Structure 1
Amino acid sequence: MSINSKAAPVVFNNVTKVYGKDVVAVDNINLKIEAGKLVTLLGPSGCGKTTTLRMIAGLEMATKGSIFIGDSDVTLLPATDRDVSMVFQSYALFPHMSVMENVAYGLGFSGFDKSETKDRAVQGLDLVGLKGYGDRLPSELSGGQQQRVAVARALVLEPQVLLFDEPLSNLDAKLRRQVREEIREIQQNLGLTVVYVTHDQEEALAVSDEIVVMYNAGIAQIGSPRDLYDAPADRFVADFIGEANIISCEIVAVSGDTATINIAGFIHTLPSHGLSVGPAQLAVRPTRLIMNAPSGITVTVQKATYVGSRMEYTFKAEFGTLFSVSENVDEPLKVGQSLTIGLDKIGPVLLPKI
């Protein structure tokens, strides 16, 4: 992927946003979004992700700190003076205007003549796969098509940074998957800098070059989708990015970067992650549990659920329950059956004891 010549990095230096006297929405965050990358701000409601996005757009002003887009300090600039475009959750299309008029709307304020405005609008619709739809009204389109019109309207302005605020939340599951793939493909083909807000972990994993996990107005962890999934920094990230079994364990020895742990009598070695001897927790993805292993944790099948492409199991162990999945749907385990569950060599991650 080549980086678009207009694509710009975004930098937050010690940025804080306070509403009123004491409601801290974003607390002293530092963040660098590289040009030409799609970076997702991910987190639960109230974590600060949408406020962060709105500060990039100029729809909210930072209380402290500075924000740069490219080489320009935009901290105090209004939204109209920032070279960014935003795609909203609600699409925000004008119902009385045709699709073509909606896409061309912003161009009318950017100094383009009628001929160039039309050419850009046609090109924008082509980019999002809606060639020939220009004369229709938004009400004549599906939800996914309306969202693509909103994307086209933002793209034709050729912004330095393109912002998405929960763009797929109004679509059903199948459409969400389709539209997110289209957004990712457009971003990669055009080399755009995109900042994308969602609370949907699967969506974030699917579209992102990098994910910024936010929690309690701050940044919990930044990394690639695989980094966050395979090496979460703490229990919140482990629990929030996909599903994870959080198991209490005891670190009984540390040698170099390797820890030996005890889980209900089962001894296992894995990277120590800087932890020392004593109580700890182990985060294990459901796919990283090995059923009928030669050694491991003795469990009993408490629940077995067939969901089409896989089986989902809840196991009862001495210390609580474990959740696991298996693609073997033809020979499912039976409720009440006892077996030994082992740990995959890759995936289980030691975390500090809370």
Structure 2
Amino acid sequence: MSKAKLGSKAAPVRFEGVSKVFGKDVVAVDNIDLHVEAGRLVTLLGPSGCGKTTTLRMIAGLEMASAGRILIGDTDVTRLPATDRDVSMVFQSYALFPHMSVLENVMYGLTFSGFGKDEARARALQGLDLVGLKGFDNRLPSELSGGQQQRVAVARALVLEPQVLLFDEPLSNLDAKLRRQVREDIRAIQKDLGLTVVYVTHDQEEALAVSDEIVVMRNAGIAQMGSPRELYDAPNDRFVADFIGEANLIACEIVAVEDDRATIEIEGYRHDLPARGLPPGPATLAVRPSRLLIGASRGIRATVIKATYVGVRMEYTLEGAFGQVFAVQEDVDDPLAVGTEVLMSFAEKGPVLLPES
């Protein structure tokens, strides 16, 4: 990809007690505080109806906050219309004009922003070069693949040099292979130019792959925010544990705590891990499928009730007195048969006790 540079005016975004209510009583966003640092990519992640898209639209000025303040840089934009905010948005649908060439699509916003035709053309060509579409300027959108059309939409937003670049489910119309490629392109461009990006998705893997920070939203509020690794390794509660990647939730007993290290027990099998402030007694353990070890010399008795080959790994469903869990193994050459009795244990790192909600 070209290293051509467009100037960046990246600015931070801050929400202070922001709420959005539709009608009389439909609360879409409920009193959230949020700080997006300049030059960072922050993803709003959550299920449908959690408030993530409404939050994004309030940054863009497409929805007005019912309460609280929104700042971009040092400017209070809470009551400013979308046209007076220095932001650009890349939509799920690409929103390209089918009768215009690729170059004309990228130039479109520039011509309405006071740029002369020659300068608009030069900046549009630079934007296409940046997203890997040099030489595509005379093609129509219908002559491009879905991934190429999405890159045109990104180029059109980039050439305006916004303080904040917004993405609303930008990859949902692409197949799996293209999603991976385009998300890598978006992340590379964001890092290259030092852009402030707020990115909305419901896809956990996508969020983990592109983000400096993830904001997990639930029921119009923020459930947890942190780096991808922080959220994956130390979820606050059952919802976050299960939403950021898959997690097996297993009842356990904390039998001892010393120096914030806990010893847990499940059917006689013991494991040491951080106590996270929890006292001895009943607790819930979250274990990622890759952190479940099958075939250990000691562990919890279980039976393989489902075995699925997915190419690069085997996926197993195990059942025991503890319930059912989902596990993955890289050994595809010697798979376990359904009905096999096994001992199941945990990796040294990975299992995490969940603080009480």
TM-score (norm 1): 0.97
What residue number does 1:71 align with?
74
Q: CA deviation at 1:340?
A: 1.1
Asked if residue 261 in structure 1 is aligned to residue 275 in structure 2, the reply is no
- Work out which of the residue numbers 235, 246, 251 in structure 2 matches 1:248: 251
CA distance, structure 2, for counterparts of residue 77 and residue 183 of structure 1: 28
Partner SS for 1:6: coil
Query: Which residue type is aligned with residue 278 of structure 2?
Result: L
Match of 2:239 in 1: 236
Instruction: Give the partner amino acid of 1:21.
Output: K
**Is 1:46 equivalent to 2:49 in the alignment?**
yes
Q: Does 1:30 align with 2:39?
A: no
- 1:293 paired residue number: 296
Cα 1:176–1:24 change in 2 (3 A) is: same
Out of 258, 271, 278, the residue aligned to residue 275 of structure 1 is 278
Instruction: Give the secondary structure class of the aligned counterpart of 2:99.
Output: coil
Letter in 2 for 1:325: V
Q: Distance in 2 between matches of 1:202 and 1:323?
A: 18
Deviations 1:152-184 (A, max 9, x none): 000000000000000010111111111111111
Out of 308-317 and 248-257, give the one that drifted further: 248-257
Match of 2:202 among 183, 199, 204: 199
Report deviation, 1:353: 5.3
Q: Is 1:324 equivalent to 2:330 in the alignment?
A: no
Deviation at 1:264, TM superposition (A): 2.2
Structure 2 residue matching 1:102: 3-state secondary structure: helix
1:86 partnered with 2:97: no
Deviation at 1:143, TM superposition (A): 0.9
2:164: which partner in 1?
A: 161
- Pick aligned residue for 1:107 from 105, 110, 120: 110
Match of 1:214 in 2: 217
CA distance in 2, matches of 1:16, 1:278: 39
Q: Which segment drifts farther, 173-182 or 266-275?
A: 266-275
Q: Where do 5+ consecutive residues of structure 2 fail to align?
A: none
In structure 1, stretches of 5+ residues that fail to align are none
Cα deviation digits, residues 202-259 of structure 1 (max 9, x gap)? 1111111111000010001111111111111110011011111000112222222111
| Mapped partners of 1:168, 1:3: distance in 2 | 24
Structure 2 counterpart of 1:336, from 335, 339, 353: 339
Give the match's secondary structure for 2:278.
coil
C-alpha contact 1:3 1:191 (8 A) present in aligned 2: no
Q: Which aligned segments of 4 or more residues in structure 1 are displaced greater than 3 angstroms? A: 2-5
CA shift for structure 1 position 306: 1.0
Question: What is the Cα-based RMSD across aligned positions, in Å?
Answer: 1.5
Q: Do the aligned partners of residues 49 and 302 (structure 1) sit closer, same or farther apart at CA in structure 2, a change above 3 Å counting? A: same
- The whole-number CA distance in structure 2 between the counterparts of 1:155 and 1:204 is 21
What residue in structure 2 maps to residue 129 of structure 1?
Answer: 132
Amino acid at match of 1:284: V
Does 2:63 align with 1:60? yes
Q: Distance in 1 between matches of 2:151 and 2:33?
A: 32
For normalisation by structure 2, the TM-score amounts to: 0.97
Distance between the aligned counterparts of 1:169 and 1:219, measured in 2? Answer: 23
